A and B are shown apart, each in its own frame.
Chain A
Amino acid sequence: MSQALPRSYTKFDYALRPSKQVERKLIIEILHTLNQDVSELKLREYQYVGFGSPYYTDFILFHKYLYITRMVCVEGTPIPKRMAFNKPYEFIKLWMGPFSGYLPSVDRETPAIVWLDYDTQLSRDHLSDIEGACNVLPPGSFLFVTVDADVRVPDDLDVPERSDDQKTDDTAERYSEEFGRYLSRPVARRDLTYANRPLLFATVCAAAVRECCQRRSLGYQQLLNVRYADGAQMVSIGGLIGTKEQLEAARRSSVHALHFVGPGPTPLSIAVPPLTVRERLWLEQHLEGPELEFELDEAMAESFRKLYRYYPVYNEALL
């Protein structure tokens, strides 16, 4: 099944992870920019399909900022009552079960924004979901995929008889077998490091999307390819699946002026540091970058300066 337990929302509130929230806002910014610049893309008429979890954070954002009202929340964990209880809007439709079970009945006429926001490592099942989505979504649709890209060994390969090095080799072999057709060479140990695993997964996902689109005589324009870590390291890729004309219109739009939008294969880090209120305010006042007055990794500070507009602010509220 695509969405295996344990779900990360059981550990902490989804909305409170700053990098995750930055990512959501980047996606909103990309879509919003295209919506303004490309008249053919009328996003308010789109359908949104996502994995809301009981927090529905993405659903709330996509509705409030993009005015989308046709929404389907796919939930693989058997918590139907909890999902229904927490639904923020009446118009959200719930589909209980794996995404692969929902896909055959997806509306083929309405362009979609689909976010396959997994919290597990890329697997053959995820790839099938991606391929399936690319097979049926109408041109003009957006597909985003997020997977865990931490250094891990698939559960069934994590056996005590094998040493850590052997397990890494086993993982490389498994990935070569499962993703091989989307890679130009077999997966090696160096592809599985913390630094390189996001690139591996992003490459495989992008190649799968491109191949499926090509078979339908459609194209794919990558808009997002980022990595971050609030806890586990994650990688997200996504973009527009469309006709030549749609892709050309998107290419001419100002979306490519956004610094985090790029066609490159290497995921851009959007990790932002957890900051105190004072630190955040100081950094925002000193965007040009004088010497820091407190201990903070320089790269993190730089990342914050690029992404401060998307940085979430949390305060306690008594409801």
Chain B
Amino acid sequence: MTPDQTVLGRPSKSFFVDVITRDLTVEEALCDLLDNSLDEAVERQRVNVMTVLASGRPRRFVDAQVRVTLREQEIRIEDNCGGISVNQARTSVFRFGNPNAPSVKGGLSVYGIGMKRAFFKLGRYVVVESSTDTEHFRVEIDVNEWKERGDEDWDFAFAEVGHHRKEPKWKGTRITISRLGPTVIGRLSSVSFVKDLLARISSSYALFLEAGMAISVNDEPAVSVLPVMLAANEMTPARRRFAVGDVDVLIMAGVSPRSDKRRHGWYVFCNGRMVLDADQTEVTGWGLGLPKWHTKFGHFVGMVYFRSEDVRNLPWRTTKQGVVVESHLYQAALAEMQVQARPVLDFLTGLYPGEVTEDGPAEREVMTRAAPVSLKHVARRESSFKVDLEQQRQTALDRTVTIQYSRKVKDIERLKACVPALRRAAAKRVGEYAFDYLLKQECGDR
């Protein structure tokens, strides 16, 4: 008799429930669920949020909102973004990994893992209810019960499914998570959590918010936070748009206002979702193609936007934080980022000359006079970063500087006695005479 030839390779549920949830923070898990809602809105309303930056006049979301409600024992995310169809729910939404191409073009769902991982990260009892124009369903997941069913049976069941008899009032999805994990309860009870989460949402989804999407946490609305750049006649931010395969890439680089105390860096977006926030590490080239990040570069603002109809072509990681550095696309962008950033960094370096001058360098003068412009209003023409310091430098040379020094009265009196032109002069005049005399002696006539 031949012995059994099988070598076990099948996945275990505890890998999904207990292992891959470890790399994820509570905020990231909540954002994964938000992605789901935004995806539905993008699909229904065909809004491309890149147009916020690319044309300044985006097609806007109409009445699209996501409400996050955090209670001591329960998390609820509710949207009115159109709902999930029964067929999608049956065949793909609840599957681990996405066997087919993602259904939403230009959306945020990539790998078919984010939503399930978020469930497991946050709690042990999940109810997903959704309602479209024509149909509705409810799925209830008791995670412990599901896990105990063993590694053969991975499926979930509808608790309720059917067609609407009349046009429903609500078309959207509601996810309710309870039996929260102890770390989650700990995070939620921290005073700063709601504030942190709102800040995260305000930057991660800034472009969605700009395009009219409403997101709130415990009824407090998130407000888009996009960095501003300086622009003036003497200063033009860099802007370059190009394609790598079917991916649209937009790069902007410039300088934030002097009054802006935030230390910036590179902001990277994939299909509207921010995946790197003010990055100052090697991931965006600092210390590699660019000099190491330094506080003197705090005013550098760089923006990279990737967009593709096929989300799989974008360089995002499964957590949607950070980028896949090795990807060919990202390397191509990185090369361009370095070239565009260099003149900005040269400018910022010029702000801090080795010697202290009385009036400050021309760079500082230009920076003070330039006006802050929101990223969406940066002139939409291709340009490299340009600064015209010539005028500043010229006027700087014609300006006068006060030189002050002290000498003994008896020496000044001696000098006045020896130089007839100074006989009745004040000390100030003596000083000026001394300078002019030295200038002529040492440098000769002009």
Q: A residues near B, CB below 8 A?
A: 1, 78, 98, 100-101, 103-105, 124, 128, 131-132, 135-136, 181, 212, 215-217
Most buried by A among B288, B332, B339, B386: B339
Contact of A100 among B288, B346, B383 (CB under 8 A): B346
A105 to B393, CA, bound (A): 24
Question: 25 A-B Cβ contacts within 8 A?
Answer: A78-B390, A78-B393, A100-B342, A101-B346, A101-B386, A104-B238, A104-B240, A104-B343, A104-B384, A105-B383, A105-B384, A124-B291, A128-B289, A132-B289, A132-B338, A132-B339, A135-B336, A136-B335, A136-B336, A136-B339, A181-B288, A212-B335, A216-B331, A216-B332, A216-B335
Residues of A within 8 A of B390 (CB): 78
Judging by beta carbons under 8 Å apart, are A104 and B339 in contact? yes
Q: Which residue of B lies closest to A102 (CB)?
A: B384
Question: When chains A and B are docked, how far (Å) is the Cα of A136 from the Cα of B385?
Answer: 16
Contact count band on B: 20 to 34
B342 near A132: Cβ-Cβ < 8 Å:
yes
| New contact pairs (5) apart from A132-B338, A135-B338, CB-CB < 8 Å | A1-B346, A103-B384, A128-B291, A135-B339, A136-B335
Assess whether B343 is in contact with A101, with CB atoms less than 8 Å apart.
yes
Q: Are A103 and B339 in contact (CB under 8 A)?
A: yes
Cβ distance B340 to chain A, nearest Cβ, rounded Å: 5
Q: Given the complex of chains A and B, what is the CA–CA distance between A100 and B290 in angstroms?
A: 12
Q: How far is the CA of A104 from the CA of B240 in the complex (A)?
A: 9
User: Smallest Cβ distance from B253 to chain A, in angstroms?
Assistant: 9
Task: List 8 A-B pairs, minimum CB-CB distance, nearest first.
Answer: A104-B384, A135-B335, A100-B342, A105-B384, A101-B343, A132-B339, A215-B331, A104-B340
Residue pair A103, B342 in contact (C-beta under 8 Å): yes
Assess A215 versus B342: contact at CB under 8 Å? Given A104-B240, A104-B385, A124-B291: no
Whole-angstrom distance from the CB of A102 to the nearest CB of chain B?
8
The closest CB in chain B to the CB of A212 belongs to B335
Residues of the A chain whose Cβ atoms lie less than 8 Å from the Cβ of B240: 104
B29 → chain A, closest Cβ, in Å?
34
A100: chain B residues at CB < 8 Å are: 342-343, 346
What is the CB-to-nearest-CB distance from A57 to chain B, in angstroms, rounded to a whole number?
27
CB distance from B357 to the nearest CB of A (A): 17
Residue on B with the closest CB to A103? B339
Task: Kindly state the separation between the CA atoms of A132 and B342 in the bound complex, as whole angstroms.
Answer: 9
For A124, give the chain B residue with the smallest CB separation: B291
Interface members, chain B 303-331 (any A CB < 8 Å)? 328, 331
A212 to B334, CA, bound (A): 11
With A98-B346, A100-B342, A103-B342 as contacts: A131 and B332 at CB distance below 8 Å: no
CA distance A136 to B346 in the complex (A): 19
For residue B339, which residues in chain A have a CB less than 8 angstroms away from its CB?
Answer: 103-104, 132, 135-136
In the complex, the chain A residue whose C-beta lies closest to that of B332 is: A216
* B416 → chain A closest CB, angstroms: 39
Report how far A216 CA is from B289 CA in the complex, Å: 14
A124 CB contacts on chain B under 8 angstroms: 291
In the bound complex, CA of A23 to CA of B202 (Å): 58
Contacts of B393 in A (CB 8 A): 78
Interfacial residues of chain B within 383-401, with CB under 8 A of chain A in the complex: 383-386, 390, 393
Interface set, chain B 272-311, CB cutoff 8 A to A: 288-291
Give CA–CA (A98, B339) in the complex, Å: 13
Compute how far the CA of A100 lies from the CA of B393 in the bound complex, rounded to whole angstroms.
20
Q: How far is the CB of A127 from chain B (nearest CB, A)?
A: 9
